[in-house]
Amino acid sequence: MKNILEINNVTKFYKNSVKALENVNLNIKEGEIFALLGPNGAGKSTLINSICGIVNFNTGTIKINNMDIIKNYRTTRKITGIVPQELNLESFETVWNNVNYSRGLFGKKPDHNYIEKLLKQLSLWDKKDNKIKELSGGMKRRVLIAKALSHQPKLLFLDEPTASVDVELRKDMWDVVKKLNQDGVTIILTTHYIEEAEELSDRVAVINDGKIILVDEKDKLIKKLGEKTIKIELFEPIEKINGNLSKYNFTLDQTNKIISHTYNLNSNTTDITELLNDVKKDGYEIKDINTEQSSLEEIFIKLIKENNNELVRN
Amino acid sequence: MNWYGIKAIYIHEMERFRRTLFQSLASPIITTSLYFVVFGSAIGSRITEIDGINYGSYIVPGMIMLTILTQSISNASFAFYFPRFTNTIYEILAAPLSSFEIVLGFVGAAASKSLIIGCVIILTANFFVDVRIDHPLLMMFFLILTSITFALFGFIIGMYAEGFEGLQIIPILIITPLVFLGGSFYSINMLPEFWQKISLLNPVLYLISGFRYSFYEVSDVSLLTSTLTILTILIGCIIFITYTFSKGYRIKD
């Protein structure tokens, strides 16, 4: 699949010499949902704002559909939409005017049928004549999405799309994002909610201190960096782990009945069949077996911790 | 050219004007009426004529200029500062609009509002005094050029202001005194020679003088000097805005 976005060696300094982005390289494939993860101040929003032309970057190049975003800003911006993190809206304007205004800004001829369809799709149609100040936070977030989609972009940036949104609405938003993607829109989202990235994205990048520290397919990432824990519940408690079990890195819980072993999904060092045979050989009877896999959130925390330690060492 | 984009900004700004139509028009009408009561009736009864023109009629061009200058500046500065304040500016910066197109949308709307208010003042003045316009085309030329020039000036303030107070400082501390001391309500020939020379340093004097010429064919300075002055201010504003945009609008960095 071809790249819709190519970022090469992008560096951005703010006026106070704070380095916000450092040699960022990233390619986004057409049609994918890409999640950009990182702690506060990592550079996620700066990167998105640089791509969309909201802030200037100092060095490097950014191309959308193989066109430089500075030299060909009219063409590239026409196919790009952005939903900002904050609820930045004109409070005294109606939903209808707000969305049509956005379409006009992006150089598109008025199309009331399309805007009507869009507002219906986002469950905003019955609110079209309401002023923004009369809407709830969730509805405002939907208006921002409607504004970003008003000019039918091919590449959509969602900067923390479900920040301060309740669980039910978050699920609704996920459905909207999935539907947009099915309709052919490439989506790049930044999020604090790892479950969001886990639920939606095809690929994930982790950014920390202005640098991309990892890019991979979500499933591969979980497999590569994820850990799995096998918990074996025994009928009888045991005093100490010895015998055949001592060759595994087992831990014993407080009841002395559950033994746990954690192993890397990518390594071939643990043979589960052999492990279970060893338990049986040592004369223990198994009551239950349970496995737990590390989430993207745990992987993310681990990565950031390692990266921060590396930064301190350097 | 992104004409739809320019139109979107223009209509968006004019919509704000429509929403606050009463305040937008009531204020200049009441102020103009008060000027006529105070200057026209109270003081005007002691100054019967200036350059052969009835005093009440004589001050009409100055009053229009006073309103046009302050309205153009405040409309444009507020229009550009407000999206900066609410952060809705992100959408304009991300849109396929050139700097020129952004300025055209905002300044066009601010100048249009001022022109409407200017026309309302001319109508209001007619209720109090006889208003004669000897050169209507020249009058419109000055009115439009002044509205655009000072809307550009307001746009600059909107780009540089760090707060709502910042929008008020230059209009209150610089523009209003310059207009009052620029012959809005008198001819500089009525001043002592020293103050006449000082008054010639005031650029607003040239605008009012040229504008008054279009009404009554009387002026303190030549029409050519007036025209060159307004064009110089216009070019100065354009150069300054171009420079600021080239540095990233003071927003993009």
Q: Which CATH architecture has domain A3-223?
A: 3-Layer(aba) Sandwich (3.40)
Q: Which residues of A touch B7 (CB under 8 A)?
A: 104
ipTM more than 0.85? Answer: no
Cross-chain Cβ contact A105/B88 below 8 Å: no
Q: What is the sign of the dihedral through the CA atoms of B213, B217, B223 and B227?
A: positive
pLDDT of residue A311: 63
Question: Is residue B250 pLDDT above 70, yes or no?
Answer: no
Contact A166, A138 (CB under 8 A): yes
Mutation test of the interface with chain B: which of A85, A102, A105, choosing the one with the most B Cβ atoms within 10 A?
Answer: A105
Max mean pLDDT among A97-106, A219-228, B178-187 falls in: A97-106
Q: What is the sign of the dihedral through the CA atoms of B130, B135, B137 and B142?
A: negative
Cross-chain Cβ contact B2/A86 below 8 Å: no
Task: Count CA atoms within 13 Å of residue B130 on its CB side.
Answer: 5
User: Has residue B251 been placed in a domain?
Assistant: no
- The residues in B 86-105 lying below 8 A from A, measured between CB atoms, are 86-88, 90-97
User: Has residue B71 been placed in a domain?
Assistant: yes
Q: Which residue has the tokens 């960022």?
A: A24
- Segments making up each domain of chain A, as ranges: 3-223, 227-293
Distance CA B73, CA B156 (A): 9
Q: Which residues of B touch A91 (CB under 8 A)?
A: 86
User: Has residue B252 been placed in a domain?
Assistant: no
Of A91, A42, A73, A13, residue with least CA distance to A214: A42
What tens digit of pLDDT does each residue of B135-162 get? 999 999 999 999 999 999 999 898 888 8
Distance CA B97, CA B9 (A): 11
Q: What is the sign of the dihedral through the CA atoms of B206, B211, B213 and B219?
A: negative
Q: Which residues of B touch A105 (CB under 8 A)?
A: 4-5, 8-9, 91-92, 95, 97
Q: What is the mean pLDDT of chain B?
A: 85
Assigned token pair, A113:
């049928």
Determine how many CB atoms are found less than 10 A away from the CB of residue A108. Answer: 20
User: Has residue B67 been placed in a domain?
Assistant: yes
Amino acid A293 reads Q
Q: Which residues contact A300 (CB under 8 A, 6 or more apart)?
A: A37, A194, A206
Contact B66, B184 (CB under 8 A): yes
Q: What's the structural domain count of chain B? A: 1
For residue A299, count CB atoms less than 10 angstroms from its CB and return exposed for 0-12, middle for 13-18, buried for 19 or more. buried
Distance CA A131, CA A97 (A): 9
CATH for A227-293 is 3.30.70
User: Has residue B77 been placed in a domain?
Assistant: yes
Which H or E run includes B117? Answer: helix B99-128
Range of the domain at B119: 3-246
Write out the DSSP string of B120-180.
HHHHHHHHHS----S-HHHHHHHHHHHHHHHHHHHHHHHHH-SSHHHHHHHIIIIIHHHHH
| Whole-structure pTM value | 0.80
User: Has residue B189 been placed in a domain?
Assistant: yes
User: Has residue B17 been placed in a domain?
Assistant: yes
User: Has residue B75 been placed in a domain?
Assistant: yes
pLDDT of residue A129: 92
Contact B152, B100 (CB under 8 A): no
Identify the bridge partners of residue A61 per DSSP, sorted by sequence position.
A8
Number of helices (H), then strands (E), belonging to chain B: the values are 12, 2
Report the percent of chain B where pLDDT is more than 90: 19
